[in-house]
Copies of this chain bind each other. A is one copy, B any other.
Amino acid sequence: MNSEFTIAVHSLVLLASRPDRMATSDIIAHNVNTHPSRVRKVMSCMRKQGYIVTKEGIGGGYILNCNPEEVSLAEIYRATSIGSMKPSWCSGKVDIECMVACNMAEVMDQIFCDAEQQLLIYLQQTKINDVLERVRLSQLQKQ
């Protein structure tokens, strides 16, 4: 699984947790523990999907533009990581005189693709707000 998914989810949860539902890439990056530029890249994708709006210039940043109770992790996965289930490496070779060797890549591809669809069904269940709730629960259990 792609870690941009993690960054996207973390960022949206963070925004959802803030009273003004807003933060700069610096704030998010520090919270996520990565580079602001990487956050901006991921957030740019979130903006294109409409989950946030951005405000450029001084006093700007990223503002949540969706209902965190409605947006599921499946949507975030689709936006950031679709296709990442399948490993880049694949077995076999088309020009080998063997049924297994020259068809395996195609067959495995289909299996990974189907597996990803199943994953999406599972991710559908969990909304941004559920993640925030889990974070709260996790926090409570530590005290």
Query: Which residues of A are in contact with B by a Cβ distance under 8 Å?
Result: 1-3, 5-7, 9-10, 13-14, 17, 30-34, 73, 85-93, 96, 98-104, 106-108, 110-112, 114-115, 118-119, 122-123, 126, 131-132, 134-136, 138-139
A98 CB to closest chain B CB, in angstroms?
A: 6
| Cβ A107 vs Cβ B131 within 8 A | yes
Distance in Å: Cβ of A110 to nearest Cβ of chain B: 7
B10 touches A92 (CB 8 A): yes
Across-interface contacts of A5 in B (CB, < 8 A): 87
Q: Work out how many copies of this chain go into the complex.
A: 2
Provide the bound-state CA to CA distance between A43 and B98, in Å: 20
Knowing A91-B7, A99-B17, A115-B119, say if A104 contacts B135 (CB, 8 Å).
Answer: yes
Bound complex: CA A46 to CA B11 (Å) = 41
Of the residues B3, B93, B115, B126, contact of A122 by C-beta under 8 Å: B115
Residue of B nearest to A142 (CB): B103
| Closest-CB distance, A34 to chain B (whole angstroms) | 7
A70 to B102, CA, bound (A): 24
Given contacts A91-B32, A100-B13, A123-B115, contact A85 B131 (CB under 8 A): no
- Residue in B33, B96, B111 whose CB lies within 8 Å of A92: B33
Given A6-B91, A33-B96, A115-B119, 14 further pairs, Cβ under 8 A: A1-B87, A3-B90, A13-B100, A14-B100, A14-B101, A31-B96, A31-B100, A33-B92, A34-B91, A102-B139, A104-B135, A106-B138, A115-B122, A118-B118
